[in-house]
Structure 1
């Protein structure tokens, strides 16, 4: 699934200094992956609007339960800090919002 980060990287990064509001708005209207899948599901009669809303409610409940469980759990040991964070040699490519401009190729 191809997606897009609508907001900045952090509280100090508004995300609008290196891209225009028109770009962000255009991507949200034309390429939002969740909305695209939702429209396809409805267009092909895979589910109804009500069924999708019910699924969203159930997912929100699951997420809220997972958040509560995480908050109640003890912090992991500091030896786990860098576990499963980075692997060399994956050849990751990063494209611009229009998928035409290759921005970086990492070794």
Structure 2
């Protein structure tokens, strides 16, 4: 988690590490660059096979609660600078405003409504999934490893006492 890429990999240029698979490094903070790269990657994949896309992005938060902001690699000032200069949403917002495609108020109203609608949709989707899960019967123990492991390796699942076999793959 805290190892620098130059220490963890022979080549930190991950997009070049596919040996015979071509790759692109993309500014993942630029929505237009990402769109173009994905379009190119799709065209390439359909005609020639796989391609690697390395998206270079900035992480605003630590990896976890035990990795607070400012503890290792970036400070609050760094984060603030990136948010002002490279944040994808802010970049598009500046572009829209500079070309008079919308006013600040129109954008604010749009995002407020979008967030409210998205939050309602997400909450409904979660509530529906929870209700569906609660209504479903528990699967049989023999289904425990279905679609998880390759059959034929004799994998077994034991009870807490390690004596009774609860499930086994053929």
TM-score range normalised by the length of the shorter chain: 0.5 to 0.7
Task: Give the CA deviation at 1:15.
Answer: 3.8
Aligned to 1:36: 91
Quick one: distance in 1 between partners of 2:86 and 2:115?
23
Quick one: distance in 1 between partners of 2:90 and 2:97?
11
Moved over 6 A (4+): 76-79
Say which structure, 1 or 2, has more relative contact order (CA 8 Å, 6+ apart).
Answer: 1
* Gaps in structure 2 of 5+ consecutive residues: 1-27, 30-56, 137-143, 149-170
* Gaps in structure 1 of 5+ consecutive residues: 83-107
Aligned to 1:51: 106
Aligned to 2:18: none
Task: Give the CA deviation at 1:41.
Answer: 0.4
User: What SS does the corresponding residue of 1:20 show, helix, strand or coil?
Assistant: coil
TM-score (norm. length: structure 2): 0.40
Question: How big is each residue's C-alpha offset from its partner over 1:46-66, in whole Å with a ceiling of 9 and x where there is no partner?
Answer: 111121012112211122212
Q: How do residues 3-82 of structure 1 correspond to structure 2 at under 5 angstroms?
A: 3-21=57-75, 22-75=77-130
Quick one: distance in 2 between partners of 1:67 and 1:42?
29
Question: How big is each residue's C-alpha offset from its partner over 1:58-89, in whole Å with a ceiling of 9 and x where there is no partner?
Answer: 2111222123213312356999xx9xxxxxxx
Computed over aligned residues only, the root mean square deviation of the Cα atoms, in angstroms, reads: 2.7
Q: Which has the higher Rg, Structure 1 or Structure 2?
A: 2
Moved more, 15-24 or 36-45: 15-24
CA contact (8 A) 1:7 1:14 kept: yes
